[in-house]
Amino acid sequence: MRFIIWWLCVITCLLAAAEDVWSHGVRGRITSGEGILVEAEYDDGEPMSYASIEIFDSEEKLPFQTGRTDRNGRFLLYPDKMGDWKVVVSDGMGHRLALKTNVDKILNLKKTNEQQAKGINESSLSRYERALMGISIIFGISGIFFWWKGRRIYSQHKRGV
């Protein structure tokens, strides 16, 4: 029993020290100006440089436009008609970002109330908060398991088995 607890402590310390190895998510936003600007970045603020991008019109199955973001993770597009548009950004290493927007007749974005209140595709928890939550869940499940196992052993010992 002490052996398992000791190993759990060692593994927890190693995971806490390996913050450069932790995976990260992506986030992005769409803004309008002279055109429609798509910005994509990892959740630590690093831009998704030279990631492939596909722009889809809601009525078409083939992409309206394909390309790559610049070194700052930005891509500028000029839609040719109004309607719903979908933007998919992928860095080729498993990170994928999908954003949706609606363009009106003067090519301005129409933001929904949810997008205005929360931002587009942004998580409310930071990477460290999510990691702490994951470790807490693991310890909670382990605690329940060891409590249940200890209760069973205690009841067997109490009966004299």
* pTM, rounded to two decimals: 0.56
CATH architecture of 26-123: Sandwich (2.60)
Output the CA–CA distances (angstroms, integers) from residue 45 to 5, 72, 73, 83, 160, in the order listed: 36, 11, 10, 30, 61
Query: Over pLDDT 70: what percentage of the chain?
Result: 78
Q: Is the pLDDT at 59 greater than 90, yes or no? A: no
Q: Is the pLDDT at 118 greater than 60, yes or no? A: no
Output the CA–CA distances (angstroms, integers) from residue 153 to 5, 21, 139, 140, 148, in the order listed: 17, 39, 21, 20, 9
Give the pLDDT mean for 32-46.
86
Asked if 53 and 66 touch (Cβ cutoff 8 Å), the reply is yes
Q: Is the pLDDT at 67 greater than 70, yes or no? A: yes
Tell me what pLDDT residue 111 has: 53
What residues contact 130, with CB distance under 8 A and at least 6 apart?
A: 123
Give the pLDDT mean for 30-51.
88
